[in-house]
Amino acid sequence: MVSLLFGLTSCETTIPQNQADQQDSLSLQAEPLQEESLLSHKRKVGVLLPLSGSHAALGHFLRQATELSFFEHPTEEIELVYKDTEGAPQGALKAAQECMNENIEAIIGPVFSAEVKAIKPFLKAHQLPLLSFSNDIKMAEQGIFMFGFSPQAQVREILEYASHQNLNRIAALVPKTAYGDSLSHELKKETATRHLTLVGLIPYEGQGENLKTELDHLKHISYDALFIPVGGKELKNLFQNLDYYAFDYSHHQLLGTTLWESKEAPSQLLGSWYAAPTPETYQAFESRFEKIYGAAPQRMASLGYDAIVALSHAIKEAPTKRLSFRDFIKTDGFYGANGFFRLKEDGSVERTFFIFKWTEQGPQPVTSVL
């Protein structure tokens, strides 16, 4: 019998879960659970999310996705203890400190890189494994897993596919942000590795509203493909600029990332390619989610589902010992809302990416690579 027990405040909620069948014990080199936990048979895991503030909608989608996965992957008795970070570093640190007062064994979340940075010293001091939803690979290290869709991995995959299609001269429009800087570094490295030519790496300010100088530069270079690693409103802004300056879509292949996923894509994306996880498992997750909660989730919510898949395995690996980051390492990996993924000892998360082509019927997978 599984039940939800909701707390009295919006910043903390506890979900206990029970399963009658007992798992065989595995001997692991880890600290014994505290006596209180052993007596109650409750294993507590903190979930740090922005449940208030400007990112509250995302936080609630992630919470619902973890709940859904929690019920679909029953373990022995555990509790998910939800903490509100308000989407800020200081909120994340406060939430992490509260977790220690409740005998938490591991933490899922937070969402943002700055939050992870704020709590890393605390986590390392208390040897708490972390499954963050950030995609900032610089934050990853032993015991600190980055579950977000790696933009670096997507750059590698889309450039590999482009090279196989004999598109050798690459240009890119990238935002002047930490995200854009990271992608620029990866573009330089991967084009050199694959013997491609990065003929134009063009950074821009803001949300891509006015790119006269940048697009004038683009007009004067010869290239086969244009890489645009942003989505949503920013992508629409870029297309408005490209249209205004008479960009020739018929002579330049557009390349993108998972951020291009959308139920209603701009018409300019027809014929373009982008890298993203497998569609079948995500669509099945999305359908179940919408049936239960009455609304389609944000794409990032699927990471919450995947985190619980890994947690379920880890709990079964350490039935009588406190969780260690090694309990999350599974050689043959996992299958979650985004298909195959594997947690690695350096904190990175390996995923299978497909290459999609936008057609009039929507995105269609054309190949898959690992």
The string of pLDDT tens digits covering residues 133-167 is: 999 999 999 999 999 999 999 999 999 999 999 99
Spatial separation of the C-alpha atoms in residues 353 and 278, rounded to whole Å:
6
Residues 285 and 145 in one domain: yes
Spatial separation of the C-alpha atoms in residues 342 and 350, rounded to whole Å:
5
Q: 320 versus 180: which is more confidently predicted?
A: 180
Please name which of 17, 49, 32, 46 lies closest in space to residue 104, comparing C-alpha atoms: 46
Position 361 in a domain: no
Give every CB contact of residue 275 below 8 A, 6+ residues apart in sequence.
153, 154, 157, 158, 161, 256, 257, 258, 353, 354, 355, 356
pLDDT for res 119: 96
Spatial separation of the C-alpha atoms in residues 68 and 198, rounded to whole Å:
43
pLDDT for res 8: 33
Position 144 in a domain: yes
Domain boundary among 256, 288, 320: 256
Residue 36 predicted with pLDDT over 70: no
Position 270 in a domain: no
Q: For the segment 184-198, what is each residue's pLDDT rounded down to a tens digit?
A: 999 999 999 999 999
User: What average pLDDT does the segment 195-207 reach?
Assistant: 90
pLDDT for res 1: 37
Give the confidence band of 82 by pLDDT, cuts at 50, 70, 90.
Answer: very high
Residues 22 and 141 in one domain: yes
Interstrand relation of 362-369 and 349-351 (parallel, antiparallel or unpaired): unpaired
Residues 133 and 226 in one domain: no
**Percent share of the chain, pLDDT over 90:** 61
Distances (CA, A) of 345 to 54, 146, 148, 165, 326: 33, 11, 16, 34, 8
Residues 204 and 328 in one domain: no
Position 274 in a domain: no
Give the confidence band of 88 by pLDDT, cuts at 50, 70, 90.
Answer: very high
Please name which of 207, 231, 209, 34 lies closest in space to residue 149, comparing C-alpha atoms: 231
pLDDT for res 207: 81
3-state secondary structure of 339: strand
Residues 197 and 91 in one domain: no
pLDDT for res 11: 47
pLDDT for res 41: 64
User: What average pLDDT does the segment 328-341 reach?
Assistant: 93
Q: Are 260 and 236 in contact (CB under 8 A)?
A: no
Please name which of 5, 30, 2 lies closest in space to residue 315, comparing C-alpha atoms: 30
Domain boundary among 221, 256, 291: 256
Residues 9 and 104 in one domain: yes
Residues 291 and 145 in one domain: yes
pLDDT for res 5: 38
What is the domain extent for residue 252? 151-256
Residues 162 and 142 in one domain: no
Please name which of 280, 277, 262, 282 lies closest in space to residue 363, comparing C-alpha atoms: 262
pLDDT for res 147: 95
Residue 303 predicted with pLDDT over 60: yes
User: What average pLDDT does the segment 73-98 reach?
Assistant: 92
Give every CB contact of residue 343 below 8 A, 6+ residues apart in sequence.
145, 310, 328, 329, 330, 334, 349, 350
Write down the pTM of the prediction.
0.82
3-state secondary structure of 278: coil
Give the confidence band of 278 by pLDDT, cuts at 50, 70, 90.
Answer: confident
Beta strand ranges found along the chain (DSSP E):
5-9, 12-17, 43-49, 78-84, 106-108, 130-132, 144-146, 169-175, 197-204, 225-227, 253-256, 273-277, 334-336, 339-343, 349-351, 353-359, 362-369
Q: Are 60 and 12 in contact (CB under 8 A)?
A: no
Structure-derived torsion over alpha carbons of residues 248, 249, 250, 252, reported in degrees to the nearest 10: 90
Residues 17 and 92 in one domain: yes
User: What average pLDDT does the segment 66-77 reach?
Assistant: 87
> Looking at this protein, which amino acid is placed at residue 251?
H
Q: Which of 25-34, 36-45, 194-203 has the highest mean pLDDT?
A: 194-203
Residue 297 predicted with pLDDT over 50: yes
Position 102 in a domain: yes
For the stretch 185-208, what's the b/e string if a residue is b when 16 or more beta carbons lie within 10 angstroms of its beta carbon?
A: ebbeebbeeeebebbbbbebeeeb
Tokens of 51: 């449940």
Residue 75 predicted with pLDDT over 80: no
Residue 368 predicted with pLDDT over 60: no
Residues 142 and 156 in one domain: no
Please name which of 15, 146, 134 lies closest in space to residue 73, comparing C-alpha atoms: 15
- Structural domain tally of the chain? 2
Mean per-residue pLDDT of the chain: 86
Please name which of 266, 267, 258, 272 lies closest in space to residue 165, comparing C-alpha atoms: 272
Residue 131 predicted with pLDDT over 80: yes
Residues 13 and 120 in one domain: yes
pLDDT for res 369: 47
Give the confidence band of 30 by pLDDT, cuts at 50, 70, 90.
Answer: very low
Position 363 in a domain: no
Give the confidence band of 25 by pLDDT, cuts at 50, 70, 90.
Answer: very low
Residues 14 and 100 in one domain: yes
Tokens of 153: 């991995």
Q: Are 318 and 116 in contact (CB under 8 A)?
A: no
Position 368 in a domain: no
Spatial separation of the C-alpha atoms in residues 286 and 61, rounded to whole Å:
11
Spatial separation of the C-alpha atoms in residues 9 and 18, rounded to whole Å:
24
State the CATH number of the domain containing residue 90. Answer: 3.40.50.2300
User: What average pLDDT does the segment 108-118 reach?
Assistant: 96
Q: For the segment 89-106, what is each residue's pLDDT rounded down to a tens digit?
A: 999 999 999 998 898 999
pLDDT for res 21: 35
Position 219 in a domain: yes
Domain boundary among 224, 241, 256: 256
Residue 221 predicted with pLDDT over 80: yes
